[in-house]
Amino acid sequence: MIHRDTGTAYFLGIGGKWYVSLSLEAAGAVVGGLQSWAIERTRIGEENVAGMRTTRWTAQASGPKGGFEGEIWTNRDGIVVKAVGTVAAPGGNPSPVEMTLSHLKVGAVDPQMLEVPEGWFSLDLRKLPADRVVQAIEGMKPMLDKRNAR
């Protein structure tokens, strides 16, 4: 979950009923350094995807942990509603990827939908530097997942 208004993201460990509070910068590092990706795109045209008017683009994105090459379709809000192409880690073999959103609803969300479930174990790592958060989560994850197995 992401709360842009507070600059906080939550990484949820569903199996162990735990979550970690992170800064948005740290959340980007956890999912592969998305904040440092370089993206180039060229407009192809307009199309309907899943009942929405979209702009189709050729796209190439690269970052420290890999990249994407292919085509993306975005709606008027800039949400990627479809992507077709390949992803690869640096020096790795490209793997095909395809995704399409369906039943997308853009608008206000009931704030209760974005609340962390009650009774879950929590760790607040918002003050930890982003490069240390990944190590911290990876180190603690096995222990936290076992919490619920007892």
Total number of domains in the chain: 1
What's the pLDDT band for 35 if we cut at 50, 70, 90? low
Locate tokens 């440092």: which residue? 36
Query: Which distant-in-sequence residues (6+ apart) come within 8 Å of 111 by Cβ?
Result: none
Domain ranges, residue 33? 2-147
Percent of the chain with pLDDT over 90: 27
Q: What CATH number did the domain enclosing 72 receive?
A: 2.50.20
Q: What is the mean pLDDT of residues 109-130?
A: 81
**HSE, side-chain direction, 13 A CA sphere, residue 103:** 0
Cα separation, 85 vs 118, in Å, equals 39
Q: 55 pLDDT exceeds 80?
A: yes
**Verdict on whether the full-model pTM lies above 0.75:** no
Of residues 89 and 32, more confidence is placed in 89
